[in-house]
Structure 1
Amino acid sequence: MRRKCPKCGSKKVVEIMYGLPPMGDQWKKDLDEGKFVLGGCCVTNHDPKWYCKDCSLEFYKLGEIPPEAGWNT
Protein backbone atom coordinates (compact mmCIF):
# COMPACT_ATOMS: atom_id res chain seq x y z
CA MET A 1 0.00 0.00 0.00
CA ARG A 2 1.36 3.40 -0.99
CA ARG A 3 1.28 5.94 1.84
CA LYS A 4 -0.75 9.11 1.40
CA CYS A 5 -0.12 12.40 3.18
CA PRO A 6 -2.92 13.09 5.67
CA LYS A 7 -2.58 16.85 5.10
CA CYS A 8 -2.31 17.38 1.33
CA GLY A 9 -3.20 13.92 -0.03
CA SER A 10 0.07 13.54 -1.94
CA LYS A 11 1.42 10.07 -2.58
CA LYS A 12 4.98 11.43 -2.63
CA VAL A 13 5.60 10.11 0.87
CA VAL A 14 8.89 8.55 1.92
CA GLU A 15 10.19 6.98 5.10
CA ILE A 16 12.32 9.00 7.50
CA MET A 17 15.47 7.04 8.38
CA TYR A 18 17.09 7.64 11.77
CA GLY A 19 20.47 6.81 13.22
CA LEU A 20 23.84 6.75 11.54
CA PRO A 21 23.34 5.32 8.03
CA PRO A 22 25.99 3.01 6.57
CA MET A 23 26.14 5.25 3.45
CA GLY A 24 27.21 2.49 1.10
CA ASP A 25 26.67 2.89 -2.64
CA GLN A 26 23.03 1.73 -2.57
CA TRP A 27 22.11 3.97 0.38
CA LYS A 28 23.70 6.98 -1.33
CA LYS A 29 21.88 6.20 -4.59
CA ASP A 30 18.51 5.80 -2.80
CA LEU A 31 19.06 9.03 -0.82
CA ASP A 32 20.00 10.93 -3.99
CA GLU A 33 16.87 9.58 -5.72
CA GLY A 34 14.68 10.73 -2.81
CA LYS A 35 13.55 7.25 -1.79
CA PHE A 36 13.92 8.28 1.87
CA VAL A 37 15.04 11.26 3.94
CA LEU A 38 17.45 11.38 6.86
CA GLY A 39 15.95 12.18 10.25
CA GLY A 40 19.15 12.60 12.23
CA CYS A 41 21.28 10.55 14.59
CA CYS A 42 19.28 11.12 17.78
CA VAL A 43 16.48 8.60 18.00
CA THR A 44 13.55 8.92 20.42
CA ASN A 45 10.37 6.92 20.84
CA HIS A 46 8.24 9.73 19.37
CA ASP A 47 9.96 10.52 16.07
CA PRO A 48 7.84 10.88 12.93
CA LYS A 49 7.96 7.92 10.55
CA TRP A 50 6.94 9.48 7.21
CA TYR A 51 7.77 12.66 5.23
CA CYS A 52 5.66 14.27 2.52
CA LYS A 53 7.82 15.56 -0.32
CA ASP A 54 5.08 17.98 -1.45
CA CYS A 55 4.06 19.80 1.75
CA SER A 56 6.99 18.79 4.03
CA LEU A 57 4.70 17.34 6.71
CA GLU A 58 6.41 14.82 8.96
CA PHE A 59 3.86 12.39 10.29
CA TYR A 60 3.50 9.26 12.31
CA LYS A 61 1.72 5.96 11.99
CA LEU A 62 -1.49 5.88 10.00
CA GLY A 63 -4.10 7.95 11.82
CA GLU A 64 -1.67 9.76 14.10
CA ILE A 65 -1.38 13.46 13.38
CA PRO A 66 0.99 15.63 15.41
CA PRO A 67 -0.65 18.59 17.20
CA GLU A 68 1.73 21.02 15.47
CA ALA A 69 0.12 20.16 12.13
CA GLY A 70 -2.72 22.44 13.26
CA TRP A 71 -5.66 20.41 12.01
CA ASN A 72 -7.74 17.39 12.96
CA THR A 73 -9.04 14.40 11.02
Structure 2
Amino acid sequence: MPRKKLIRINSSHFQSLFKAIYSFFKSFGKYHSYQWQKEQKEQVIDLPPIKKERIVSTERPNDCSKCGHGPLAEILYGLPDFKDPEFQRAQAAGEITCGGCCITGMEAKWQCVECGQKVWQPPLWHEKQALARYSSSYRKRLFEETMKANGFQKKEMS
Protein backbone atom coordinates (compact mmCIF):
# COMPACT_ATOMS: atom_id res chain seq x y z
CA MET A 1 0.00 0.00 0.00
CA PRO A 2 1.41 3.36 -0.97
CA ARG A 3 2.16 5.75 1.75
CA LYS A 4 0.23 9.08 1.79
CA LYS A 5 2.25 12.20 1.67
CA LEU A 6 1.38 14.79 4.32
CA ILE A 7 1.33 18.41 3.34
CA ARG A 8 2.37 20.79 6.03
CA ILE A 9 0.78 24.21 5.92
CA ASN A 10 2.45 27.05 7.69
CA SER A 11 0.16 29.44 9.63
CA SER A 12 1.19 32.32 7.36
CA HIS A 13 0.08 30.27 4.32
CA PHE A 14 -3.18 29.51 6.09
CA GLN A 15 -3.79 33.21 6.84
CA SER A 16 -2.95 34.33 3.32
CA LEU A 17 -5.32 31.67 1.90
CA PHE A 18 -8.21 32.88 4.05
CA LYS A 19 -7.41 36.52 3.28
CA ALA A 20 -7.59 35.74 -0.42
CA ILE A 21 -10.92 33.93 -0.01
CA TYR A 22 -12.29 36.77 2.14
CA SER A 23 -11.22 39.47 -0.34
CA PHE A 24 -12.77 37.46 -3.20
CA PHE A 25 -16.16 37.24 -1.48
CA LYS A 26 -15.96 40.86 -0.39
CA SER A 27 -15.36 42.11 -3.94
CA PHE A 28 -18.00 39.70 -5.25
CA GLY A 29 -20.55 41.12 -2.79
CA LYS A 30 -19.63 44.72 -3.62
CA TYR A 31 -19.99 44.08 -7.34
CA HIS A 32 -23.39 42.44 -7.02
CA SER A 33 -24.57 45.04 -4.52
CA TYR A 34 -23.56 47.78 -6.97
CA GLN A 35 -25.35 46.00 -9.81
CA TRP A 36 -28.49 45.61 -7.68
CA GLN A 37 -28.45 49.31 -6.74
CA LYS A 38 -27.96 50.27 -10.38
CA GLU A 39 -30.94 48.15 -11.42
CA GLN A 40 -33.11 49.63 -8.67
CA LYS A 41 -32.21 53.18 -9.71
CA GLU A 42 -33.18 52.39 -13.29
CA GLN A 43 -36.58 51.12 -12.13
CA VAL A 44 -37.42 54.25 -10.14
CA ILE A 45 -40.05 56.41 -11.77
CA ASP A 46 -39.52 60.12 -11.33
CA LEU A 47 -42.78 61.62 -10.12
CA PRO A 48 -43.27 65.37 -9.94
CA PRO A 49 -43.38 66.58 -6.33
CA ILE A 50 -46.82 67.24 -4.91
CA LYS A 51 -47.13 70.98 -4.63
CA LYS A 52 -49.24 72.05 -1.70
CA GLU A 53 -50.10 75.71 -1.55
CA ARG A 54 -50.53 77.29 1.83
CA ILE A 55 -53.65 79.23 2.56
CA VAL A 56 -52.77 82.21 4.75
CA SER A 57 -55.22 84.36 6.68
CA THR A 58 -54.82 86.94 9.43
CA GLU A 59 -58.24 86.06 10.92
CA ARG A 60 -60.12 82.83 11.43
CA PRO A 61 -61.90 82.01 8.14
CA ASN A 62 -65.68 81.56 8.25
CA ASP A 63 -65.72 78.88 5.53
CA CYS A 64 -63.24 76.36 4.16
CA SER A 65 -61.96 77.37 0.73
CA LYS A 66 -61.77 73.71 -0.34
CA CYS A 67 -65.12 72.23 0.76
CA GLY A 68 -67.15 75.20 2.03
CA HIS A 69 -67.62 73.83 5.55
CA GLY A 70 -67.33 76.35 8.31
CA PRO A 71 -66.22 77.74 10.62
CA LEU A 72 -62.76 76.23 10.85
CA ALA A 73 -61.51 74.70 14.09
CA GLU A 74 -58.56 76.15 15.98
CA ILE A 75 -55.63 73.73 16.19
CA LEU A 76 -54.28 73.10 19.70
CA TYR A 77 -50.66 71.99 20.00
CA GLY A 78 -49.09 70.32 23.00
CA LEU A 79 -50.81 67.87 25.34
CA PRO A 80 -54.31 69.02 26.33
CA ASP A 81 -56.32 67.59 29.22
CA PHE A 82 -58.50 65.10 27.33
CA LYS A 83 -60.70 64.48 30.40
CA ASP A 84 -61.67 68.15 30.71
CA PRO A 85 -65.41 68.45 29.92
CA GLU A 86 -64.92 71.87 28.26
CA PHE A 87 -62.25 70.38 25.95
CA GLN A 88 -64.51 67.43 25.08
CA ARG A 89 -67.46 69.76 24.35
CA ALA A 90 -65.37 72.08 22.14
CA GLN A 91 -63.85 69.15 20.24
CA ALA A 92 -67.26 67.53 19.68
CA ALA A 93 -68.64 70.87 18.44
CA GLY A 94 -65.75 71.22 15.97
CA GLU A 95 -64.38 74.38 17.58
CA ILE A 96 -60.94 72.89 18.29
CA THR A 97 -58.81 70.01 17.03
CA CYS A 98 -55.53 68.50 18.20
CA GLY A 99 -52.42 69.25 16.16
CA GLY A 100 -49.75 67.18 17.90
CA CYS A 101 -47.13 67.70 20.56
CA CYS A 102 -44.18 68.98 18.49
CA ILE A 103 -44.10 72.76 18.25
CA THR A 104 -41.72 74.38 15.76
CA GLY A 105 -43.37 77.75 15.21
CA MET A 106 -44.37 76.89 11.63
CA GLU A 107 -47.66 75.14 12.48
CA ALA A 108 -51.04 75.87 10.97
CA LYS A 109 -53.49 77.88 13.08
CA TRP A 110 -56.86 76.56 11.85
CA GLN A 111 -58.12 73.34 10.21
CA CYS A 112 -61.33 72.26 8.51
CA VAL A 113 -62.85 69.32 10.40
CA GLU A 114 -64.51 67.98 7.23
CA CYS A 115 -61.70 67.86 4.65
CA GLY A 116 -58.60 68.56 6.78
CA GLN A 117 -57.54 71.72 4.89
CA LYS A 118 -55.18 73.78 7.04
CA VAL A 119 -54.90 77.56 7.18
CA TRP A 120 -51.78 79.35 8.38
CA GLN A 121 -51.53 82.68 10.13
CA PRO A 122 -48.85 84.99 8.67
CA PRO A 123 -45.71 85.15 10.80
CA LEU A 124 -45.22 88.18 12.98
CA TRP A 125 -41.55 88.75 12.17
CA HIS A 126 -41.29 92.28 13.50
CA GLU A 127 -42.84 91.34 16.84
CA LYS A 128 -40.65 88.25 17.12
CA GLN A 129 -37.49 90.23 16.37
CA ALA A 130 -38.39 92.92 18.92
CA LEU A 131 -39.08 90.24 21.52
CA ALA A 132 -35.75 88.56 20.76
CA ARG A 133 -33.87 91.86 21.15
CA TYR A 134 -35.63 92.59 24.43
CA SER A 135 -35.00 89.05 25.65
CA SER A 136 -31.29 89.33 24.82
CA SER A 137 -30.86 92.65 26.64
CA TYR A 138 -32.87 91.35 29.60
CA ARG A 139 -30.69 88.23 29.90
CA LYS A 140 -27.55 90.38 29.77
CA ARG A 141 -28.83 92.69 32.54
CA LEU A 142 -29.94 89.72 34.64
CA PHE A 143 -26.51 88.10 34.28
CA GLU A 144 -24.71 91.31 35.26
CA GLU A 145 -26.96 91.87 38.29
CA THR A 146 -26.49 88.26 39.42
CA MET A 147 -22.72 88.54 39.10
CA LYS A 148 -22.72 91.83 41.04
CA ALA A 149 -24.94 90.34 43.77
CA ASN A 150 -22.52 87.42 44.17
CA GLY A 151 -19.55 89.74 44.61
CA PHE A 152 -18.05 89.59 41.12
CA GLN A 153 -16.99 92.83 39.49
CA LYS A 154 -16.84 93.64 35.82
CA LYS A 155 -13.29 94.44 34.73
CA GLU A 156 -12.38 96.10 31.49
CA MET A 157 -9.96 94.16 29.34
CA SER A 158 -7.05 96.23 28.07
Query: What TM-score, normalized to structure 1?
Result: 0.65
Question: Which residue number corresponds to residue 36 of structure 1?
Answer: 96
What's the offset of the Cα at 1:2? 5.6
Q: Percent identity?
A: 34
What's the offset of the Cα at 1:52? 1.3
| Gap runs ≥5 in structure 1 | 63-73
Q: How does 1:29-68 map to 2 (within 5 A)?
A: 29-61=89-121
CA distance in 2, matches of 1:6, 1:21: 28
| Structure having the higher Rg | 2
CA distance in 1, matches of 2:116, 2:97: 11
1:21 to 80, 87, 90: 80
Contact 1:18/1:43, CA 8 A, preserved across alignment: yes
CA distance in 1, matches of 2:94, 2:121: 20
| SS class of match (1:37) | strand
Higher RCO (CA < 8 A, seq sep 6+): 1
CA distance in 2, matches of 1:40, 1:20: 8
Amino acid in structure 2 at the alignment position of 1:33: A
CA distance in 1, matches of 2:102, 2:60: 27
More strand as a share of residues? 1
- Root-mean-square deviation (Å): 2.2
Contact 1:12/1:53, CA 8 A, preserved across alignment: no
| Gap runs ≥5 in structure 2 | 1-58, 123-158
Question: Which residue number corresponds to residue 69 of structure 1?
Answer: none
